Amino acid sequence: MKKTGLSIVILVGCFSIVVWLNAAVHDVRSKQISAEMSDIGRVPASVLVASSLEFKGAMANMMFLNASNFIGRKLMEQSKTLPEEWHQFYLLLDRITTLDGSFLDPYVFAEMMLAWQAQMYDEANMLLEKGIKARPDDWRLPYYIGFNHFFFKKDFVQGANYIKQAAAIDGSPPYFPNLASRLAFYGSRSKTALLFLEEMLVQNKQIKMSSELEKRLVALQGAAQLEDAAFLFMQQQGRKATSIDELVQNGFVESIPTEPYGGQWRLHPNGRVDSSSNFITVEK
Amino acid sequence: MRGVYAVALLSFKEGLRHRVLYGVLLAALLLMGCTVLVSGFFLRDISKVILDFCMATVTLGGLTIPFFLAIHLLAKDIERRTIFTLLTRPISRGQYLIGKFFGLFLITGLIMLLLTGGVWLCLWGGEFLFGSRFFVTVSWVSIVAALFLSWLSVLILNAFVVLWSTVTTSSFLATLLTLFSYVIGHSIDDVVRFLQVEVTMIKISDSIRMTVDVVKYLFPNLAAFDLKSAAAHGLSIPFTDVLILTTYATAYIVVLLVLSTLFFNRRDLA
């Protein structure tokens, strides 16, 4: 009985120590996680590939979990991520995608974190380019790069090119051709947008000419016609036209083209023509 | 042939008696179960993550045979002289070795087959938890092909255990040599590819090139048998590739077993 009593006392005592030390052990582990993140980022890709033997996929998964933990920890602690940490994070994603190039999650993570949070657009795009090579049938990757060019880098033409690339991949959303033309339009090149949409319709016979696309095509044709007229006006008159009406009065266009969205055409000093509707149907 | 069959059956039954085998099976199945839960932390590639971990577990389960059980069944048999009880019967040394290999062949096959059932359970569990939209790329043909190739690579290692057990006098040395064979087998192809790339800044001596050229024929290209990643992504594995690798593995195993028999016939066991 005495022995049993002593055993119970020891058991309770030791378990109390375990409970008491729990938080301290957690802190020790936190330091380890932080160190792990940096260390893995610094390991050369070739060494990682060689040391993973036949477990590259599982290794990539574990490293991705490590990257998720790092971001999760930052979000929980609400602490600012330093540029050096973002660089390590980029290296980690780069290593993961070297181990398993077809793994989609690191690319999605690169877009979510590197582009949106860290403003590391070039690094995000580099990883996504790597993904395009490994997953040529995935429309999401060129779409993300297109979006980065359009939204973050204000490079509308490049953006439209990537969206065009995404739209050409089977399974991409049917509104992509329309979106690409819209991006190109905002890139001050109505003609490019028009050509892109026409080419897309010819190349992708499976795209049904919906009324929305038809409307977009008519609008782009109108904008391109007016831009061409404004360009001709400047060449012949030696000065820029001040309004759409001036182009009509001087005979550069026979009549003002229809704006199918219900807005008013606007001629900008740089020769670009857009509409007050922004190509969104105006509710009357 | 009867001698080979008898030793194979005996080794198989002896292997099954080892409790460590059941421990490995249980641990592997538990690991697979955890995989299903961990896969929930990932964004989209849930089926890929489950398959990566589960197929790695199947391979690890298979690898426990050459690294733990085979050494116990073969090297220690020689080391502890228990082999004499078998060799007093009308069984040649060659039949003994081939029989032992087929015993290991059966145990490895059984373990990996049971763990493949675990893969099926995990995929089913994952689909139940996260929905079938994450599992559209799963291809059972590719999974079975990848695991079959993984089994073949483990069989090559089993044949290595047979070889190293016949040329060394200690089971520890046999384990160590098998481990080296495994690491070299998985790295040699990358080394060959590295040497094929002409890097102007780095001068590689002819002797190194020659050594690698010899080693690439001596050690098996085990990395070629690793198609788990392709299977995890649902990519198809060409039948011709499976055929080439099966022929290569069979030929390699035969070479190792013949070499083992030659060494073993000349060995003084006393």
Q: Judge whether residue A200 has pLDDT over 90.
A: no
Residue B175 CB contacts under 8 Å (≥ 6 apart), including other chains = B67, B71, B75
Q: Judge whether residue B107 has pLDDT over 90.
A: yes
pLDDT digits (tens, 9 = 90+) for B190-237: 888 777 766 555 677 888 888 888 888 888 999 899 999 899 999 999
Establish whether this prediction's ipTM goes over 0.90. Answer: no
pLDDT category, A15, cuts 50, 70, 90?
Answer: confident
State how far the Cα of A195 lies from the Cα of A246, in Å rounded to an integer: 27
Cβ contacts below 8 Å, chain A against chain B, sum to: 60
How many C-beta neighbours within 10 Å does residue A180 have? 28
Q: To which H or E segment does residue A195 belong?
A: helix A190-203
Q: What is the rounded average pLDDT of the residues B55-77?
A: 88
Model-level pTM?
0.70
Checking DSSP bridges between strand A273-275 and strand A265-267, what pairing results, if any?
A: antiparallel
- pLDDT in the model for residue A212: 61
Residue A90 CB contacts under 8 Å (≥ 6 apart), including other chains = A110, A114, A118, A120, A123, A127
> What own/partner pairs with CB < 8 Å and gap ≥ 24 does A136-143 have?
A137/A169, A137/A170, A137/A171, A138/A104, A138/A169, A139/A166, A139/A167, A139/A169, A139/A171, A139/A172, A139/A176, A140/A104, A140/A107, A140/A108, A140/A166, A141/A107, A141/A166, A142/A166, A142/A169, A143/A172, A143/A176
State how far the Cα of B142 lies from the Cα of B132, in Å rounded to an integer: 18
The full 3-state SS of B211-232, as one line of letters, equals HHHHHHHHCCCHHHHCCHHHHH
DSSP string across A58-98:
HHHHHHHHHHHHHHHHHHHHTPPPPHHHHHHHHHHHHHHHH
Contact at 8 Å (CB) between A145 and A162? yes
Enumerate the H helices of chain B as residue ranges.
2-17, 19-38, 46-64, 70, 76-79, 83-87, 93-130, 140-167, 171-196, 206-218, 228-232, 239-266
- pLDDT in the model for residue B270: 64
- pLDDT in the model for residue A152: 78
Q: What amino acid is encoded at A184 in this protein?
A: A
Contact at 8 Å (CB) between B232 and A61? no
Q: What amino acid is encoded at A170 in this protein?
A: D
- pLDDT in the model for residue A197: 65
Q: Judge whether residue A126 has pLDDT over 70.
A: yes
Expressed as residue numbers, the domain containing A232 is 211-284
Highest mean pLDDT among A145-149, A238-242, B56-60, B72-76: B56-60
- Cα dist from B141 to B32, B147, B234, whole Å: 20, 10, 9
What is the maximum span of chain A, computed from C-alpha positions, in angstroms?
Answer: 113
B259 min Cα distance to partner chain A (Å):
27
The more confident residue out of B226 and A26 is B226
Q: Is A265 helix (H, G, I), strand (E, B) or coil?
A: strand
Instruction: Note whether residue A237 is domain-resident.
Output: yes
Residues of A in contact with B186 (CB under 8 A): 53-54
Contact at 8 Å (CB) between A166 and A146? yes
- CA B89 from centre of chain: 31
Nearest Cα neighbor of B103 from B92, B115, B95 is B95
Residue B172 CB contacts under 8 Å (≥ 6 apart), including other chains = none
Residue of B44, B49, B235 lying closest to A61 (CB–CB) = B49
Domain count within chain A: 1
**Taking CB atoms and an 8 Å limit, are A54 and B59 in contact across chains?**
yes
Nearest Cα neighbor of A126 from A143, A107, A152, A140 is A107
State how far the Cα of A57 lies from the Cα of A102, in Å rounded to an integer: 10
Q: Judge whether residue B184 has pLDDT over 50.
A: yes
State how far the Cα of B236 lies from the Cα of A187, in Å rounded to an integer: 42
Domain ranges of chain B: 2-266
For the purposes of burial, counting CB atoms within 10 Å of the CB of A26, is it exposed (0-12), middle (13-18) or buried (19 or more)?
exposed
How many C-beta neighbours within 10 Å does residue A208 have? 9
Q: Judge whether residue B168 has pLDDT over 80.
A: yes
Residue of B41, B45, B51 lying closest to A104 (CB–CB) = B45
Residue B101 CB contacts under 8 Å (≥ 6 apart), including other chains = B8, B158, B159, B162, B253, B257
Residue in chain A closest to B39 (alpha carbons) equals: A61
- pLDDT in the model for residue B242: 93
**Taking CB atoms and an 8 Å limit, are A68 and B41 in contact across chains?**
yes
Residue B157 CB contacts under 8 Å (≥ 6 apart), including other chains = B63, B66, B67, B178, B181, B182
Highest mean pLDDT among A125-134, A159-168, B161-170: A125-134
User: By the CB < 8 Å criterion, does A56 face chain B?
Assistant: yes
Indicate which of A61, A66, A73, A111 best probes the interface with B, i.e. most B CBs within 10 Å of its own CB: A61
Per CB distance under 8 Å, which residues of B are interface residues toward A?
Answer: 38, 41-45, 48-49, 51-53, 55-56, 59, 150, 153, 182-183, 186-187, 190, 222-223, 225-226, 228-229, 232-233, 235
User: By the CB < 8 Å criterion, does A228 face chain B?
Assistant: no
Q: Judge whether residue A55 has pLDDT over 60.
A: yes
State how far the Cα of B129 lies from the Cα of A267, in Å rounded to an integer: 56
Contact at 8 Å (CB) between B39 and B46? yes
**Phi and psi, residue A275, nearest 5°:** -125, 150
Residues of A in contact with B153 (CB under 8 A): 54
Q: Which residues pair with B188 in a beta bridge?
A: none
Q: What amino acid is encoded at B113 in this protein?
A: L
- CA A142 from centre of chain: 8
Instruction: Note whether residue A227 is domain-resident.
Output: yes
Instruction: Note whether residue A45 is domain-resident.
Output: no
User: By the CB < 8 Å criterion, does A138 face chain B?
Assistant: no
- Give the torsion sign (CA, A203, A204, A208, A210): negative
Q: Which residues pair with A275 in a beta bridge?
A: A265
pLDDT digits (tens, 9 = 90+) for B15-43: 888 888 888 889 999 999 899 988 888 87
State how far the Cα of B198 lies from the Cα of B187, in Å rounded to an integer: 19
Residue of B43, B153, B187 lying closest to A108 (CB–CB) = B43
State how far the Cα of B40 lies from the Cα of A136, in Å rounded to an integer: 26
Average pLDDT, rounded, for chain A: 80
**Taking CB atoms and an 8 Å limit, are B44 and A55 in contact across chains?**
no
- pLDDT in the model for residue A205: 45
Instruction: Note whether residue A229 is domain-resident.
Output: yes
**Taking CB atoms and an 8 Å limit, are A50 and B45 in contact across chains?**
no
Nearest Cα neighbor of B220 from B189, B266, B264 is B189
Indicate which of B48, B154, B157, B181 best probes the interface with A, i.e. most A CBs within 10 Å of its own CB: B48
Contact at 8 Å (CB) between B57 and B27? no
**Taking CB atoms and an 8 Å limit, are A55 and B56 in contact across chains?**
yes
